Every structure is written in C-alpha cells, then in structure tokens.
Copies of this chain bind each other. A is one copy, B any other.
Amino acid sequence: MYPDNSLVRDISRMQQSNYGREGFSHITVTGALAHGTKEVEVWLQTFGPGQRTPIHRHSCEEVFIVLKGKGTLLLGSSSLKYPGQPQEVPVFQNTTFSIPVNDPHQVWNSNEHEDLQVLVIISRPPVKIFIYDDWSMPHTAAKLKFPYFWDEDCLPAPKDEL
C-alpha cells in the first residue's frame, strides 16, 4: 500500500483488507503512517455476523461511532491484575462510545444477520495494541502486537542488506 497524501481523499476508493481475519474489513481513513497525522487516526471497520475484535487494550483514547448494525461492547477493567468479568453493553446504529485508556475491551458483532460497521478514532497513533487470550489473563501477560496489521504495510520495506 502506498501512502496517499492528497489533500482530499475518496474513502470509497481506499484499499480495504481483512488482514487475514475472516468476516472483517478495515480501511485506514486517516492514518499516522499512511497520511502523516500525528495526533489522531480514523478507521472504518466492518464486522460480519459473529465476528469480534481480539480482547485488547491500548494506552490511547478510542471513540467508536456505529454506522450500521448492532453489536455488543465487552469492557473489562484495568484496576485488577486481569480484566475480569467484562460489562456487556449493547451498541447499535447511531450510538457512540469511548474506551477508557488502558481498559481491556472487545467489540463483537453479536447480531446473526447484519454486518456491524463502525468508525473508529484513536489518539496518539500508531496504535500499540496489547492482546489478551481471555478475560482472566493478567495484564502483564498481554502480548504487544506492534506495528498492528494495517500499519505493517505502511512501514518502509527493510533494506536489502546483500
């Protein structure tokens, strides 16, 4: 993927990919690595029925806007040694929610019939994501995935050292 730093960009012509995740689609609408923003980043993501993000946390703010569909926000806590039993909160078209910094969370298209489409805004890009296997994994055991899938292909290829 080559960066497109045009002043005005057409989202409907942007490259989307599932980055190896079944029933998932991601577009980097505005990105730190792709477009040079330093303080905010915007993604457009679609989750097929039943699909979920990993359980994860990050030390940046995140705001979701649900453009289409219905789903469930699962939100753990950073106040124990592990996320704990998450709150399960229904989300639906035209709702918005923010993830508190460092709180482990998961967005789940819990609807069997429709796609869930969300606009996602993060601060302090590029995102540094720590992934949990389950809600009982200690925070210290969560695994850093950096760069994240959609940022990997924005980084310059390593030089040929031959």
Chain A residues near B (Cβ < 8 Å): 7-12, 29-30, 35, 37-40, 42, 60-61, 63, 65, 73, 75, 87, 89-91, 94-98, 119, 121-124
The listed residue (B10, B61, B90) touching A40 by CB distance below 8 A is B61
Complex Cα distance, B90 from A30, in Å, reads 18
Chain B residues, Cβ within 8 Å of A75: 7
Contact at B40–A9, with CB atoms within 8 Å?
Answer: no
Copies in the assembly, this chain: 2
Contact at A97–B9, with CB atoms within 8 Å?
Answer: yes
Chain B residues, Cβ within 8 Å of A73: 7-8
Contact at B119–A65, with CB atoms within 8 Å?
Answer: yes
Complex Cα distance, B8 from A91, in Å, reads 7
Contact at B96–A9, with CB atoms within 8 Å?
Answer: yes
Contact at B94–A12, with CB atoms within 8 Å?
Answer: yes
* Given A8-B90, A42-B121: A96 in contact with B63 (beta carbons within 8 A): no
Chain B residues, Cβ within 8 Å of A121: 40, 42, 121
Complex Cα distance, B100 from A37, in Å, reads 9
Complex Cα distance, B8 from A89, in Å, reads 8
Complex Cα distance, B40 from A91, in Å, reads 21
Complex Cα distance, B30 from A122, in Å, reads 12
Complex Cα distance, B63 from A97, in Å, reads 19
Complex Cα distance, B9 from A89, in Å, reads 11
**Can you identify 29 A-B contacts, CB atoms within 8 angstroms?**
A7-B73, A7-B75, A7-B87, A8-B89, A8-B91, A8-B95, A9-B95, A10-B94, A10-B95, A11-B94, A11-B96, A29-B63, A29-B65, A30-B63, A30-B98, A35-B98, A37-B98, A38-B61, A39-B60, A39-B124, A40-B61, A40-B121, A40-B122, A40-B123, A42-B96, A42-B121, A65-B119, A119-B119, A123-B123
